[in-house]
Amino acid sequence: MVAVTEKDIHIVNNGHVTSPQGFSAGGVHAGFRKTKLDFGWIHSDTPATAAGVYTLNAFQAPPLQVTKESIEKENLIQTVVVNSGVANSCTGKQGMHDALETQALTAEKMGVAANHVAVSSTGLIGVPLPMEKIHAGIQAMDDGNHVAPENFEKAILTTDTVTKHMAVEVEIDGETITIGGAAKGSGMIDPNMATMLSFITTDAAVDHSSLQNALRNTTNKSFNMITVDGDSSTNDMVLVLANGRKNNRRLDESHPEWSAFLQAFQHVCEGLAKQIARDGEGATKLIEVNVSGAPSEEVASQVAKAVISSNLVKTAVYGTDPNWGRIITAVGYSEQPIDPDKVSVSLGDIMVVKDGLPVEFEEMRGKQYLENETVALNVDLQNGSHVATAWGCDLTYDYVKINASYRT
């Protein structure tokens, strides 16, 4: 394998899901929401190798089920459609009928096979899809006035305050390969795949099983390592499409530059995950929990998740309270093999616990550090060489306001 360093990955300025060749995207106001764009689509000019990971919630919504079954048939997707405002979840047989009808109508409009269409919905649970609005959105897909990646990014949002997108380039087989992505997610975010909608595209040629494995493994280090509120939704998924428009030799684990593709892919997934965490409902700060010195990657991940999921830690960061006891407590209840006499904790570069005992520090300095927009909480278990990072946000008064009035 050829090792690739971070400097070999080039971030595309204002990169989008359409930065890779052969992809277009758009969005329109179809009437699901009062005034905002609420129906979006991504289209590849050729069928793309597809892979997906899905929410572990037992109540998987019909759109998710339809998309999952479609990918399993041929491993190909050419068009993705998404509506926001109505989740089409817990809607029974009618919900499945509506999801299949959405797929069929989109296929007819775009001239593609029905099982090459992925459908997705996000929004209020338990409300049937207003199919007249689905029809309106689909009919607008060939209107050039609505074709723009920014429109797609806006159309998939619910309580998000900003769009989430990025793209990177990496050279493989002498070709500049591009990987782009767009995501939505602000609430019902927990480190339990998948708790958002994320769509990743690339113009590389990639073997399906290798792409699926890459997505699953990368998800465990990115989308599975974020939390906002500990809730996991019913609709959410991450899809990746590889249309092979570049002339690289088909990528798989035996390709000499597979590691270069993996690192670029990880960069996009991690970037989108951090954007979701930073835009948590009511959030004012991004929290990054770095765990080192673990006996295994699993231990490091579970400890990081325990700390990032702690409401007491999240509220302390919001209140700029350098209360390291809350961090130690979360490490302790992570149910991992921890030696309390070895654990050290720092707020950024401010050491507050060493070998399980408090370290004297200037509390005002700790408070000032927690006022930053990005806060790093570092935990060293001093019991191995494995590391993990998790991302989340502070828990604020506005989170309660937003969710108390969600239906109204």
Active site amino acids = 195
Q: Which of 334, 367, 227 is nearest to 287 (CA)?
A: 227
Write the burial class of residue 321 (CB in 10 Å: 0-12 exposed, 13-18 middle, 19+ buried). middle
Total residues found in the chain within this entry? 408
Rounded Cα–Cα distance for residues 9 and 403 (Å): 39
Rounded Cα–Cα distance for residues 303 and 347 (Å): 16
Q: CB within 8 A of 313, min separation 6: which ones?
A: 287, 307, 326, 327, 330, 377
Question: What letter would DSSP give residue 80?
Answer: E
Rounded Cα–Cα distance for residues 85 and 83 (Å): 7
Answer for the pair 316, 323: CB distance below 8 angstroms, yes or no: yes
Answer for the pair 273, 238: CB distance below 8 angstroms, yes or no: no
Rounded Cα–Cα distance for residues 62 and 234 (Å): 10
Q: Is the peptide bond before 194 cis (omega within 30 degrees of 0)?
A: yes
